[in-house]
Chains A and B, each alone.
Chain A
């Protein structure tokens, strides 16, 4: 049973501290869908297990891992880092334009972001091919097993992210995000930033330290 005093209260009668709390709550909003954030958390957890597993394996086989890292192409890794960071940057700018209701301009920024993602994929494939040419495969040793597993798993996330970016770009182009309802766009861009976040941990761990 709802108290009549609550239902009949005029806006002026609302306590000032409650009003401030309500304002604070409305200001602090999680971008996108809650479901996407739980999905992102699940992905981060899986990668955390991979990263910790890789670190422990490295401590058990230090010499093998040092030799393996020496065979990787650090510059290719750096190019991929720059490509993913720049791609993420363009997605952040695209979301900003969506807030300003400039959907068509946002689509062009998303396409630019996808172009940088294509650079990442091209470099990664080149890296794999050059390792295969040297006779290095997933079965070579523990280092390369983990290297191929982790980087290929990440690459799959990049590919899924590109599909999501294509979907939100298509929706934005068709003006499907109207009345400032951008949670789908925000969810897609958050996923893409997660892919970037994972790479900035993966890159130093596997290529550098």
Chain B
């Protein structure tokens, strides 16, 4: 039992390291997106998809809401999906 708990904690630690790497790489990609994508609408959508992925990492791994009651996790994940979606719609109007 104790060993299982230790393994779980270790898993959380490595998940935090993986998340940190993903967040840094995506932040760098986001800033250089215009060099790969010419279309401004496409670029906006890609940047906001990156925001969603980064937000999911922070909510689930850093805030540890993947172990929280479903309502709270869904609520926070909705925020980081719906807000970029609303912004995308405003930008594409």
Contacts and interface: CB of A to CB of B under 8 A. Distances in A.
A44 B54 CA distance: 16
A14 interface: no
B74 interface: no
B16 A92 contact: yes
Given A48-B79, A200-B58, A204-B51, A93 B27 contact: no
A31 B68 contact: yes
Contact of B64 (A31, A48, A196): A31
Contacts of B50: 204
Task: Classify chain A: how many residues form its interface, as a range.
Answer: 35 or more
A64 to B, nearest CB: 16
A205 B31 contact: no
A100 B51 CA distance: 32
B23 A52 contact: no
A200 B54 contact: yes
Contacts of B51: 200-201, 204
B77 to A, nearest CB: 11
B1 interface: no
A86 interface: yes
B36 to A, nearest CB: 13
B55 A200 contact: yes
Interface stretch (A74-82, A122-130, A134-142, A157-165): A74-82
A96 B91 contact: no
B13 A96 contact: yes
B93 A59 contact: yes
Contacts of B83: 48, 51-52, 201
Contact of B62 (A74, A77, A92, A203): A92
Interface string B80-93: 10011011001101
Interface in A35-58: 37, 41, 44, 48, 51-52, 55-56, 58
Contact of A209 (B47, B67, B80): B47
Nearest to B82: A48
30 contacts: A31-B63, A31-B64, A31-B68, A37-B72, A48-B83, A52-B83, A52-B86, A52-B87, A55-B86, A55-B91, A74-B31, A78-B27, A78-B28, A78-B31, A85-B24, A85-B27, A88-B58, A88-B62, A89-B17, A89-B19, A92-B16, A92-B64, A190-B63, A197-B58, A200-B58, A201-B51, A201-B80, A203-B27, A208-B31, A208-B47
